[in-house]
Amino acid sequence: MPPTSRQSEAHRDTGTPPPEQVTVRRYLIDDPVTEITQLLHRAYAPQVEMGLKPLAGRQDDKTTLDRVLNSECFLATIAGEGGRERIVGIILLNEHERVAFPAFFLRPGVSHFAMFGVEPGLQGLGIGRRLLERTEARARELGAQELALSMAEPDTNLRAYYDKRGYRFIEHWQWPYTNYRSCILSKTL
């Protein structure tokens, strides 16, 4: 639904983009990895402030690039200064890692996403929803009947976000690089 003129005025007043100005696209090899890493650090800062150590909240550029190249990566962008795209969101689909995976992620018909983040000042504008919808559509194209994720169990606000979107609890999981237990959630596509 297009924004009303009042909504457009509000976006202009706050410097935030109206939802129709957001583009969701695949990662391109010349996209700035440092910009993505910094976005992730900002997006995961609330978990870090809780004393958690999510990988995306502390990873370096090399790790970001490795994760992006070992998955299908989607970016949300808006036009920035001088017409240059500004990356404001990211999500990875079917990331391949060098660690053990939760058993549910390995089931036939299950896709999973990770490293999902939106610029904190732009959260609540539908950018995350658009990234999730694109990821769900791609998972369906790949033949998945379920879309799963891993999230920090102590982050109850994040859990509520996924509960509202139809995700359900599957199992607990401990990643070797985090200091908390994760919840594996999934949604039927």
Q: Give the model confidence (pLDDT) of 46-88 as tens digits.
A: 999 999 999 999 999 999 999 999 999 999 999 877 778 899 9
Alpha-carbon distance of 116 to 160, in angstroms, equals 15
pLDDT band at residue 20 using 50, 70 and 90 as cut-offs: low
pTM of the model: 0.87
Torsion of CA 42, 96, 170, 57, to 10 degrees: -10
Among 6-10, 65-69, 142-146, 183-187, the range scoring the smallest mean pLDDT is 6-10
Architecture of domain 5-188: 3-Layer(aba) Sandwich (3.40)
Residue 99 has pLDDT above 60, yes or no: yes
The tokens for 142 are 């790949």
Residue 42 has pLDDT above 60, yes or no: yes
